Amino acid sequence: MRLVCLFALASLSFAAELPVKTVILYKHGVGFFERSGELRSGESARLDFKASDMNDVLKSLTLEDKSGAKITGLRYDASEPIDKRLADYPFQIGQGKSLPDFLDQLKGARLSIRTVAGENASGIIFGSRRVAWGEKSVEKELVVLVVDSGEMRTYDLSAVTSLKLADAELERQMKDYLATLAVARSRDKRSVYIDSTDARARQVTASYMTPMPAWKSSYRLILKDAAATLEGWAIVDNTTGEDWTNVRLALVSGRPISFISKLYEPRYRTRPEGDLAEDKALGPTVYSGNVEAASMAKPVAPPPQQKLALGYGPARQAMELAISDQTAAFRRNEMASSVAATAAGRELGDLFEYSFSSPVTVKKNESAMLPFLQQKIGARKLLIYSDRSMQNPMNAAEITNNTGKTLDGGPITVYDSGAYAGEALVETFKATDKRLISYGVDLGTRITTAIDSSRELTRELHASRGVMTSKSAVQETLTFTVRNIDAKDKTLIIEHPIRSQYKLLNQKPAETTTTAYRFEVKLGANKVEKFPLSEEYIFDQTISIGSLTPDIIATYAQNKNLSADGRRQLEAVIAQKERIAATAAELQDVENQLKELAQDQDRIRRNLESLNRVTGQQAQVQKYATDLAAQESKLAQLRDRQSQLRKQRDSQQQALNAMIEKVAF
């Protein structure tokens, strides 16, 4: 143990410093760090990281020797997953496990206990558990021991003051287990060592990526008459545990792909069994493997600025003064903050970087607010109406990014003519692109909506092999009634959602987004404007002609979009269906008569059966017999007619089926 401590002290005494020189923060939760310093002969530079950051460090760490020599010595504190280190113990002490849970895993081990009553006992653990005890079901923790006499005795653990395992090896394992847990919990830091074996000093640079809080941006949009100024402030957080002193700071807007790869924890593989090739079954093989163009506006050059050097000492004081000066400036109706932006912007492929020209200092566990933009910007004041549940539109501005830079997304505080006007959110948008933002409710404009009409029209009719397809359209007209009660002209943007399969009829949008149309409406002072918006929904419907009634077919036949030949074919089908309907009606009438005669004959036969048992009823019996004979003659005629009508109906139906099969238009 003493030798290890001396070695640790010796290594600390020869640790070279590689301070942070460059910090680049990204929006997706990582940061790029560059450290550099002199590494003399025999020295080792040590870089400390959080244990949770080691995967990213091992994935991204690069080393550069400015002298041109190669760096060959690099080592770091190894790690083994805590679950793997604890898996070989004969017991597990999991989160929330009780003493009975632990003792129950030691069945067969010898245990000595002392109770509050002073009793000493020892025996072999038979088991341990928690049970409900007594009438009130109070939970007790019990251990059952097999004592030397062979008896099994139960002890209440709440009455036990001490326990001791008689097995020295088992006791050692328990202590080691607890020590492993303590080390795993306390060793949050991991070190990477860069060793020097050369006889001369070298200038070493180490670069790597680690998880970092995403930098945040916020803006101030300052409107005054026809001019607009946009200020951008970046908020960065230093959570690394060490100071950033006079570092080169850059902020990158964009979302490159980043992920965590488990490189730090040792990996264990399941080894194959050593069977002969012919004994193995074949297994699978795994092979690696604004919908509209933005308006092109020329960038407006930024106004002359007095740059502020954000050094490690005066930087924060200067920013605090800037914030207080900004408040005073608004009170004097001056528009821009007195702190000037010192960040230069440049494209990095699909990303955009803001690089601060002056060194920046941010103490550990502190945050900083840095100005990165202050320029004139294209802005147009508007109203926007997109929420139909509201009667008032929103105060809005159309911002055109003519700064020549990518503007990162974030909140915008809007000041209009020296007064606070509201707040908005904006997404990231590139140079020359534009965005709409809304920052307040315009109480001087009221809007109502009404659906003036909704009707269905059949546009096309087609038929083939007995199936008719119709193309129909449902037309809807939504009218916006806008009342401007202010004594000034306004411009209103109406957002209308794009609905699938709906087509605009009478209006052309000024813009189209992925989800909505935008229509621009000019509002006169103290006037009411109506804006009708008509759409139609076209859909197809397929139906069998044979299943339609003559009335419905007649409706289709009267459609003005149907050809004359198609109309004649449908009228022929209607006529044939009407003939079949007439035959069916006559057949139904005959069948009804047959049913009535059958019922009457049944009644007469029951009467005859009753009269035959009574004397003196021969005359009545003769009358019933005559009626039956007449009915039999009529039944024969009706049955013949029924047979004829059935044949006629079947023949007409066959003719209809053939006719429908040939319908084509």
Q: Which residue has the higher pLDDT, 32 or 95?
A: 32
Structure tokens given for 506 = 């009478």
Lowest-confidence pick of 5-19, 82-96, 184-198, 636-650:
5-19
Q: How many Cβ atoms sit within 10 Å of the Cβ of residue 110?
A: 16
Of 216, 434, 432, 254, nearest to 349 by C-alpha is: 254
At 136, which helix (H) or strand (E)? Answer: none
Task: Specify the pLDDT at position 421.
Answer: 92
pLDDT of residue 310: 36
DSSP secondary-structure letter at 507? -
Are residues 617 and 508 part of one domain? no
Q: Are 378 and 228 in contact (CB under 8 A)?
A: yes
Say yes or no: 319 and 251 in one domain: yes
Residue 343 placed within a domain? yes
Would you list the DSSP string of 558-602? T-TTS-HHHHHHHHHHHHHHHHHHHHHHHHHHHHHHHHHHHHHHH
pLDDT at 654 over 90: yes
Q: Is residue 203 part of a domain?
A: no
Give strand pairing partners of 569: none
Q: What is the rounded average pLDDT of the residues 392-397? A: 93
Residue 43 domain-assigned? no
Residues 383 and 503 in one domain: no
Beta partners for residue 457, in sequence order: 473
What is the C-alpha R_g of the chain? Answer: 46
| Residue 246 confidence (pLDDT) above 90 | yes
Give a yes or no: residue 287 inside a domain: no
Q: Find which of 14-18, 179-183, 189-193, 355-359 is predicted with most confidence, using mean pLDDT.
A: 355-359
Task: Indicate whether 580 and 643 sit together in one domain.
Answer: yes
Domain assignment present for residue 288? The answer is no
367 and 246 housed in the same domain: yes
pLDDT of residue 336: 63
Is 316 inside any structural domain? yes
State the average pLDDT over residues 605-612: 76
Are both 242 and 322 inside the same structural domain? yes
Beta bridge partners of 378: 400
470 and 334, same domain (yes or no): no
What's the pTM? 0.57
- As for how many domains the chain has, the answer is 4
Q: Is 491 part of any domain?
A: yes
480: domain CATH number is 2.60.40
Query: What is the model's pLDDT at position 70?
Result: 62
Q: Confidence class of residue 2 from pLDDT cuts 50, 70 and 90? A: very low
The pLDDT-based confidence of 231 (bands split at 50, 70, 90) is: very high
Task: Kindly state whether residues 157 and 237 are assigned to the same domain.
Answer: no
Q: Which amino acid appears at position 250 of this protein? A: A
Please identify which residue in the block is written with the tokens 């409710």. 441
Together in a domain, 505 and 635:
no
- 441 falls in which pLDDT band (50, 70, 90)? very high
Higher pLDDT pick, 567 / 190: 567
Least confident of 40-49, 98-107, 395-404, 469-478: 40-49
Does residue 475 share a domain with residue 374? Answer: no
Average pLDDT score over residue span 175-183: 75
- Where is the domain boundary, 518, 543, 568? 543
How far is the C-alpha of 415 from the C-alpha of 394, rounded, in Å?
15
CATH number, domain containing residue 115? 2.30.30.100
**Among 441, 457, 490, residue at a domain's last position:** 441
Q: Are residues 342 and 420 in the same domain?
A: yes
Residue 283 lies in a domain: no
| Same domain flag for 431 and 460 | no
pLDDT of residue 635: 87
Among 376, 410, 441, the domain boundary falls at 441
Instruction: Determine the structural domain holding residue 594 and report its residue range.
Output: 552-662
Asked if residue 630 lies in contact with residue 568, where contact means CB atoms within 8 angstroms, the answer is no
- Euclidean distance between CA atoms 41 and 201, whole angstroms: 6
Burial of 202 (0-12, 13-18, 19+ CB in 10 A): buried
pLDDT of residue 525: 94
How many Å apart are CA 27 and CA 20, to the nearest integer?
Answer: 20
